[in-house]
Structure 1
Amino acid sequence: MKKWTVITALILVAALLGACSNSGNEGGSSSPKTENKSIKLAYVAWDSEIASTNVVKHVLESKLNYKVEMLQVDAGPMWVGLADGSADAMVAAWLPSTHESYMEKYAQEVVDLGPNLDGTKTGLAVPAYMEINSIDELADAAAGEGVNYQIIGIEPGAGIMMATERALEEYALSDWTLVESSSAAMAQQLIQSYDEQKPVIVTAWTPHWMFANMELKYLEDPKGVYGGEEQIHTIVRKGLEEDKADAYKFLDQFEWTADEMAAVMIAIQEGKSPEEAAGAWVEANADKVNTWLEGIE
């Protein structure tokens, strides 16, 4: 009986301590250290942005204890989400040219944290075995017939798609069709044509794993429709710095190189899931990751 009396007493003490703890936290609110530790990342389904967003997600979760929700959307809704606050951040703004129209529209409603990657490029690309070298050569009938007068594109609304529509106008390519598809479908079509040594023209951007796996070339753009080299910027919603100071500081300090991004993209293309590839890269590049986290308590 004494044994059961002791056990009963211990249970009562534990219950009393639990009640006291709860009374100091009325309403079930979280402690300051875990309160509001969730964040929404918007991104477009481009291989480059899948890589970068998953790396950012892994750091937020493994180093800063955030619960991350990833919102895969087209370019337009991605910008709208940051402007109206339904998303917290994105690391996928191609500036100054590709997303120029979105930046002009939403510049006053978002916060631009600056570039996270330098030296990007967009344009039309073809396999190196094709003789064509410039967009203005597409006006030649032979060039058009070889590819059925089609340029294989990605998701409608993407900046590179809008630029390509302008290119068709600027170069008077009224007989040509820009085929809407997706980043994955475009890459698959390119791979199939490349393996069969057939002509193909695709919307392309760098960094991208396809330039590492295939011998490709950009078509020259004498009219400058696609602009020059670009940067990828980090954009966040207004108020994020006040709401989630640690996440804001990390996002502000996040930057890497095209080669580093390409390593993650290639790992995904070779069969790893985006989460696995991002996690492996983060763990293998601790020094780099630590620079992103400097000054965060």
Structure 2
Amino acid sequence: MFKFSWKRLGIAAGLSLSLVAAGCGADEGSEGGDTGNNSEEASKEIELSYVEWATEVASTNVVATVLENQGFEVEVTPLDNAVMWQSVATGETDGMVAAWLPGTHGDLYAEHKDQLEDLGTNLEGAKIGMVVPKYMDVNSIEDLDAQADQTITGIEAGAGVVKATEKAVEQYPNLDGWTVQTSSSGAMATALGEAIENEEPIIVTGWSPHWKFQKYDLKYLEDPKGVYGEAEEIKTMVRSDLKEDMPNAYKILDQFQWSSADIEAVMLAIENGASPEDAAATWVEENQDKVSEWTKGVE
């Protein structure tokens, strides 16, 4: 089973990230097995970074499982948005499948795009915005007045959807005096579930794909001012020299692409009690046709 790393690379103004991650393109005597792939490459460790959003937990664990099945020793490291991007750009981690563009991570992409390689879209049709239960009698951001005590329940401070929501509060005159309350993805989901159980009003920062749309009857509020932008896509980014160091890992990451239905199946399994590793392993076992496309050409 691939390793889960709990280390957090702190954000310190003016300080660069220190190279503390194992692997990252350097063979340090890991114990990857010989599965018939290039044995030198298969012995290397690979580290994937991600943001602890339900989508990225699902996708990162699935890709990690596929890489492990191809003989890699995989480490997965949860990081803040900005640190995730910086870690790939500096080569401290090898890659991530968690780049939300063009809106959510647009500023981070602009900052780091010349230091990493963009492998393209792995999921299309993603979306962010304000989300409410369908029982609420409101359909547009412009309809909001005093619902939910003029509070929008957010996720982590600095997340793209939170930044967009803070911008919406500034741009919509009817939101004067409203507050964006930051917390975490898990805390937001908990607050949403409790509010729905009691049929109370709640506005959350939401994104899809996400298991909450399968579990609850929810709707996005219309955004006449276009603050949240159009549909987004999730892309894969890797360090600039990964192809040279680990061509097989590069090929798998480059060919990784799936649908909202695929990722939501994994997210739902996790929400229903499966560990991320077990949910990913089950999905991989049951979807070998898709996995074979990701591993096509691997030597």
TM range (shorter): 0.7 to 0.9
Residues 112-155 of structure 1 deviation map (CA, whole Å, 9 limit, x = unaligned): 100000111100000000001111222x2xxx2x3111100101
1:294 and 2:292 aligned: no
Q: Give TM-score, length-normalised by structure 1.
A: 0.86
Q: Give TM-score, length-normalised by structure 2.
A: 0.86
1:156 and 2:157 aligned: yes
Secondary structure of the structure 2 residue equivalent to 1:256: coil
State whether residues 30 and 44 of structure 2, in contact with CA within 8 Å, keep that contact through their aligned partners in structure 1.
no
1:113 and 2:116 aligned: no
One-letter code of the match for 2:109?
A: M
Compute the displacement of 1:29 (Å): 10
Equivalent position to 1:122, from 116, 120, 128: 128
Secondary structure of the structure 2 residue equivalent to 1:151: strand
Equivalent residue number for residue 24 of structure 2 = none
Structure 1 residues without counterparts, runs of 5 or longer: 1-27
Secondary structure of the structure 1 residue equivalent to 2:130: strand
CA distance in 1, matches of 2:49, 2:89: 12
CA distance in 1, matches of 2:72, 2:285: 17
1:129-148 paired onto structure 2 within 5 Å: 129-138=135-144, 140=145, 144=146, 146-148=147-149
Equivalent residue number for residue 9 of structure 1 = none
1:98 and 2:114 aligned: no
Equivalent residue number for residue 20 of structure 1 = none
One-letter code of the match for 1:107?
A: K
Structure 2 residues without counterparts, runs of 5 or longer: 1-28
One-letter code of the match for 1:164?
A: T
Compute the displacement of 1:174 (Å): 3.1
Equivalent residue number for residue 52 of structure 1 = 59
Secondary structure of the structure 2 residue equivalent to 1:204: strand
CA pair 228-67 structure 1, distance change in 2 beyond 3 A: same
Equivalent residue number for residue 85 of structure 1 = 91
State whether residues 60 and 96 of structure 2, in contact with CA within 8 Å, keep that contact through their aligned partners in structure 1.
yes
One-letter code of the match for 2:266?
A: V
CA distance in 1, matches of 2:140, 2:80: 29
CA distance in 1, matches of 2:195, 2:109: 35
Report the number of matched residues: 265
CA distance in 2, matches of 1:159, 1:86: 23
1:225 and 2:227 aligned: yes
Compute the displacement of 1:198 (Å): 0.4
Secondary structure of the structure 1 residue equivalent to 2:258: coil
Compute the displacement of 1:240 (Å): 0.4
One-letter code of the match for 2:182?
A: E
Equivalent residue number for residue 15 of structure 1 = none
Identity of aligned residues (%): 51
Flag the structure with larger Rg.
1
Equivalent residue number for residue 213 of structure 1 = 215
Please, which moves more after superposition, 67-76 or 165-174? 165-174
1:158-237 paired onto structure 2 within 5 Å: 158-172=159-173, 173-237=175-239
CA distance in 1, matches of 2:84, 2:158: 11
Equivalent residue number for residue 11 of structure 1 = none
How large is the RMSD of aligned CA atoms in angstroms?
A: 1.6
Equivalent residue number for residue 6 of structure 1 = none
CA pair 126-288 structure 1, distance change in 2 beyond 3 A: same
Equivalent residue number for residue 7 of structure 1 = none
Equivalent residue number for residue 10 of structure 1 = none
Structure 1 segments (4+ residues) deviating >4 Å: 28-32
One-letter code of the match for 1:101?
A: D
Secondary structure of the structure 2 residue equivalent to 1:132: coil
Residues 148-196 of structure 1 deviation map (CA, whole Å, 9 limit, x = unaligned): 1110010111111111111111113231111111111100000000011
Secondary structure of the structure 2 residue equivalent to 1:78: helix
More helix by share: 1
Compute the displacement of 1:34 (Å): 4.1
Please, which moves more after superposition, 175-184 or 28-37? 28-37
One-letter code of the match for 2:172?
A: Y
One-letter code of the match for 1:72?
A: P
Equivalent residue number for residue 271 of structure 1 = 273
State whether residues 47 and 74 of structure 2, in contact with CA within 8 Å, keep that contact through their aligned partners in structure 1.
yes
One-letter code of the match for 1:48?
A: T
Residues 80-132 of structure 1 deviation map (CA, whole Å, 9 limit, x = unaligned): 11111111100000111111111111111111100000111100000000001
1:15-54 paired onto structure 2 within 5 Å: 33-35=39-41, 36-54=43-61
